Amino acid sequence: MNRIDRLSAMLTQLQAKRRITARTLADRFDISLRTVYRDIRALEESGVPIIGEAGIGYSIMEGYRLPPVMFTREEAFSLLVAEKIAQTLTDQHNTDQIHSAMFKIRSILRTSEKKLLEEVDENIAIRPPRNSLHKMNPPDMLQKILNSIAAQKVLHIHYSTIRKEEVSERDIEPIGIYFANDHWYLIAHCHLRQGYRTFRTDRVQSIHSTDRDFQQRHPSLLKYLASLQKKQRLIKVVLHINASIAKYIKEEKYQQGFVLQNEKDDVVEMIFMVSSIYGISRWIMKMAEHAQVIEPDHLKNHVVEMAQKILDRYENS
């Protein structure tokens, strides 16, 4: 990257972040700290009001507005793909905000870039998961959760539990949301349970903002998930799966905690590490006679119990 391109990219980095360190810029552009200092000085001399604080980093003076950013063809395509994904995997309110943001972005694109996006728009599709948030209420759930995290305000929800099939009222302090296995999950400190709990957003029947402050400081979502992973005692699961169907579960197995596999004649031995046997047991049942549990014994027993219940239901019908 030549210096002109690097200065332009560095300006974009400064605009995108509230504060950024010299070390972060050096790592981002693979340059030395001395080069960073020279580039920052060049930007200052060109009229960009950069504030530098020792030990903290650089920021652009509040109120200063940079000229519109120009996008490359590849960046424009990536934005279109991101828009499609966000429209499919988030709720209706979030989709409306994304539409609004993309209109603003399109307004600063060159005419050639706009034409390209129009031409490929109908050639990109994201198939929605079965539990799309567009089908759920409330339509602005994700925004309320994110606003709660930003403002550090308690949320009041009505939550439906799958096991007891009952609705409970909860006051929660959200720390983050994540998408996995076709579902959005909310992790929050629950006042009712006096601890951190994971809530599936499709089971939240209503959500209301309050003016009550969080009662305590919470870790970030990434730090919480990292600490949770360290605390969990994982269970080793060994399965024998018929080689004839193993090729059809190449993607699914990774969602179940897949670690490694060994091929043995007409059987593929797969090893998984899971935090609970209940999720993987249902996945095993989907493969019927094509899968066999080798270990642990309590997983074998659980699968047998599930199969027996199915048999009893048909015999008694």
pLDDT-based confidence at 182, cuts 50/70/90? confident
3 state DSSP class of 72: coil
Residue 130 within a domain: no
Q: Residue 59: is its pLDDT beyond 80?
A: yes
Express each pLDDT in 32-49 by its tens digit.
999 999 999 998 888 888
Number of domains in the chain: 4
Residues 195 and 264 in one domain: no
Please report, rounded to a whole number, the percentage of residues in the chain having pLDDT higher than 90: 34
The domain of 179 spans 136-229
Residues 140 and 192 in one domain: yes
Instruction: Give the whole-angstrom CA distance, residue 132 versus residue 31.
Output: 44
Residue 156 within a domain: yes
Instruction: Name residues whose C-beta falls within 8 Å of residue 60's C-beta, 6 or more positions apart in sequence.
Output: 14, 15, 48, 49, 50, 51, 66
Residue 161 within a domain: yes
Residues 101 and 41 in one domain: no
Q: How far is CA 19 from CA 31, 89, 179, 264, in A?
A: 19, 30, 28, 55
Q: Residue 191: is its pLDDT beyond 90?
A: yes
pLDDT-based confidence at 137, cuts 50/70/90? low
Last residue of a domain, one of 60, 88, 105: 60
Instruction: Name residues whose C-beta falls within 8 Å of residue 181's C-beta, 6 or more positions apart in sequence.
Output: 255
Contact (Cβ atoms closer than 8 angstroms) between residue 145 and residue 155: yes
The pLDDT of residue 119:
84
The pLDDT of residue 227:
82
State the average pLDDT over residues 206-230: 88
Mean per-residue pLDDT over the chain, rounded: 85
CATH number of the domain bearing residue 51: 1.10.10.10
Express each pLDDT in 269-295 by its tens digit.
999 988 889 889 999 999 988 999 999
Last residue of a domain, one of 229, 244, 274: 229
The pLDDT of residue 148:
95
Q: Residue 317: is its pLDDT beyond 80?
A: no
3 state DSSP class of 196: strand
